[in-house]
A and B are shown apart, each in its own frame.
Chain A
Amino acid sequence: QKEVEQNSGPLSVPEGAIASLNCTYSDRGSQSFFWYRQYSGKSPELIMFIYSNGDKEDGRFTAQLNKASQYVSLLIRDSQPSDSATYLCAAPTGTYKYIFGTGTRLKVLA
């Protein structure tokens, strides 16, 4: 059974700090990874995707991928209370099938 694992949290960080969210995956064949943000009662919103080893930056967000360790992370710099949400990691298994982690709940404390 292919899995994507995330710590459910909550992860609490003070406003202005860096939030670090982690995800591991079991399918070595997965080539691309997606981070979503989901506010309570809302649908997942795509933040960014990454498919190459290393870092990818987009504004306050940096995704990091290490395929050898089967590990992908999301860093949020200068965390704001509005970043408080559940962050979902998703990976493809097969060509058009995606599995999601349970998500990490982030709380940014003002």
Chain B
Amino acid sequence: EPEVTQTPSHQVTQMGQEVILRCVPISNHLYFYWYRQILGQKVEFLVSFYNNEISEKSEIFDDQFSVERPDGSNFTLKIRSTKLEDSAMYFCASAQYFGPGTRLTVL
């Protein structure tokens, strides 16, 4: 059964550093998403991506965030200058199917 994969599983970074989270969606899917979940809180929508461009984004997805699909398979989320409050689980979703997540810890 096709799966969404995400790397790395855990990323530790210093405040102010850039991070790139990677996802390989399910092939032949057209809609991709990034969500985040701060520990103990709800899953929050960040951005949706269709046809190589952003479809919708939330208030959280400010200028510090960007998404790309640089080739036919990878889908990335970049945070330019991380803040302490960016610490969370970041989930990529291919249509309605979630990847295992990347735990981002900002020190």
Contact = CB atoms under 8 A, between A and B. Distances in A.
Given A44-B91, A46-B96, A49-B96, A98 B45 contact: yes
B44 A43 contact: no
Contacts of A46: 96-98
Interface stretch (B48-56, B63-71, B78-86): B48-56
Given A46-B97, A96-B31, A103 B42 contact: yes
Nearest to B39: A41
B33 A98 contact: yes
B101 interface: yes
Nearest to B98: A43
Given A43-B101, A96-B31, 6 more contacts: A49-B96, A94-B56, A96-B48, A98-B33, A102-B41, A103-B42
Interface of A: 34, 36, 42-46, 49, 88, 90, 94-103
